Amino acid sequence: MHNANPVDTPMDKSCVLSRELCPKTEEEKKRMAKNPYASAVGSLIYAMMCTRPDLFFAVRMVSRDESNPGPDHWVAVKRILRYLKGTSDLALCYHGESLRLVRYSDADGSANRDERKSTSEYAFLLGGTAITWCSKKQSCISLSTVEAEYVACTSVVQEAIWLRRFLKSLCISAHVDDVIVIYCDNTTTIAYAKDPKYHGRTNHIDTKYHFIRDTIAQG
């Protein structure tokens, strides 16, 4: 990869990985076994967990079929490495001017072709820089983008509550703004989260995901 050309993003927007792309014959599996796929993915996971939240979604996609990757999976891994080559100077820089705790939440809307489950992603920022991040497959199948975003927001509110308590245990919560700002790019999801009433389109959503409404009501 020393002579590879850098790229601007860790994953191509048209890339969709699934089990359909995995090797079917022993010959195809032997051919793929020549590539250090598991080793490369393991190294990427280490970087992702420690200092590179921008890799989370892409690395999660390539790690799903780690036991039986196909040529397209290997191409996706090499693209992440090319992205790292062009962004090796990036770093997490923490600033003390503002200790507002900000959270960004998103969901990919059933992009998992194998199970049709959405993926929840979030990042918490403190001092303008990410301090914790996650990309996790949802346990339920969402029937709409609104529902996927709602599930993602509700799950992460629990993380926000824990994080506030953790900051308090470090005796720095007094310097952190009282309000936790949550950014979500779906206005309907935001409306559902603030509305205590139940609607026909959301009656089927598991009760535990309405935890966000109670949290908002409590301030």
Q: pLDDT tens across 103-121, in order? A: 888 777 655 565 667 788 8
- Single pTM value for the model: 0.75
Looking at mean pLDDT, say which of 28-42, 147-161, 196-210 comes out highest.
28-42
2 found inside a domain: no
Looking at mean pLDDT, say which of 66-80, 141-155, 175-189 comes out highest.
66-80
Q: Which of 57, 86, 115 is the last residue of a domain?
A: 86
State the DSSP H helix or E strand holding residue 73, giving kind and residue range, or none if neither: helix 71-86
Taking only the tens place, the pLDDT of each residue in 53-75 is 999 889 988 998 899 999 999 99
Q: Are residues 82 and 159 in the same domain?
A: no
Q: pLDDT at residue 17 above 70?
A: yes
Q: Are residues 81 and 134 in the same domain?
A: no
Q: Are residues 119 and 188 in the same domain?
A: yes
The band of 93, judged by pLDDT with boundaries at 50, 70 and 90, is: confident
Q: Are residues 72 and 117 in the same domain?
A: no
Q: Are residues 109 and 207 in the same domain?
A: yes
Q: Which residues contact 215 (CB under 8 A, 6 or more apart)?
A: 157, 161
94 found inside a domain: no
Return mean pLDDT, the chain: 80
5 found inside a domain: no
User: What are residue 130's DSSP bridge partners?
Assistant: 125
Contact 120, 107 (CB under 8 A): yes
Backbone angles phi, psi at 134, to 5 degrees: -160, 150
Specify the range with the lowest mean pLDDT, choosing from 36-45, 111-120, 137-146.
Answer: 111-120
188 found inside a domain: yes
Q: pLDDT at residue 82 above 90?
A: yes
Q: Which of 86, 116, 145 is the last residue of a domain?
A: 86
31 found inside a domain: yes
12 found inside a domain: no
- Residue of 68, 86, 80 whose CA lies nearest to 31: 68
Q: Which of 33, 52, 86 is the last residue of a domain?
A: 86
Angle value at C-alpha 119, between 113 and 120, nearest 5 degrees:
170
Q: Are residues 66 and 148 in the same domain?
A: no
Distance CA 177, CA 171 (A): 14
The band of 217, judged by pLDDT with boundaries at 50, 70 and 90, is: low
How high is the pLDDT of residue 110? 54
Q: Are residues 82 and 105 in the same domain?
A: no
Q: pLDDT at residue 41 above 80?
A: yes
How many domains would you assign to the chain?
Answer: 2
Distance CA 65, CA 51 (A): 24
14 found inside a domain: no
Q: Which three-class secondary structure state does DSSP give residue 100?
A: coil
Share of the chain above pLDDT 70, in %: 75
Taking only the tens place, the pLDDT of each residue in 26-40 is 999 999 999 999 999
Q: Are residues 69 and 138 in the same domain?
A: no
10 found inside a domain: no
Distance CA 113, CA 124 (A): 28
Paired sense of beta strands 129-137 and 119-126, if any: antiparallel
Kindly tell me the number of DSSP H helices and DSSP E strands found in the chain.
Answer: 7, 4
Q: Are residues 116 and 195 in the same domain?
A: yes
Domain hosting residue 41, numbered range:
19-86
Backbone angles phi, psi at 121, to 5 degrees: -130, 145
